[in-house]
Amino acid sequence: FRSSLSIMADLKNEALHERHWRQIIQETNINIDLTNNILTLENIFQMNLHQYNDIIQSILQTAIKELQIEKNLNDIQQQWDTMRFQIHKHYRHTLGTNIEQERGFIITGVDDILQALEDSTLLLNSIFKNQYLLFYYLYGTVNIDV
């Protein structure tokens, strides 16, 4: 009984997407109707899902790691979508005079930008080395040739 409750809690995890449910169905040979979005404790008992705890745990751990990748990629994208560069006029002083000549514009706050760029690069490098990136690569949501 307790193992069934544990599985019920696991199956409720937000990381499980339809592809993970299809994988559970395929690896356990259990028929779960994904169209009605209802899974009861009675269904879990009838399907004897507790017998497949190791399979479900493995798929769940993969789903959790994939979700973390997705969240990290979204965070990086949001950070750079909202990054604002401060631009100021740049003046050059002529030696020996008080004359300032306008020389164009410069970006200020470069240290913060470079730190954010370094942080994003490190995170992307760790993501690209992650075995759980495969799903996103196969379905074209990540281009590995960055």
**Domain assignments of the chain as residue spans, ordered by start:** 2-138
Whether pTM exceeds 0.75: no
pLDDT digits (tens, 9 = 90+) for 52-96: 999 999 999 999 998 998 899 889 999 999 998 899 999 888 777
> Buried b vs exposed e over 2-19: b needs ≥16 C-beta within 10 Å?
eebeebbebbeeebbeee
DSSP-based helix, strand, coil % in the chain, nearest 5: 60, 10, 30
Give Cα 36 distance to the centre of its chain: 27
For 89-130, the pLDDT digits (tens) are 998 887 777 788 888 999 888 898 999 999 999 999 888 888
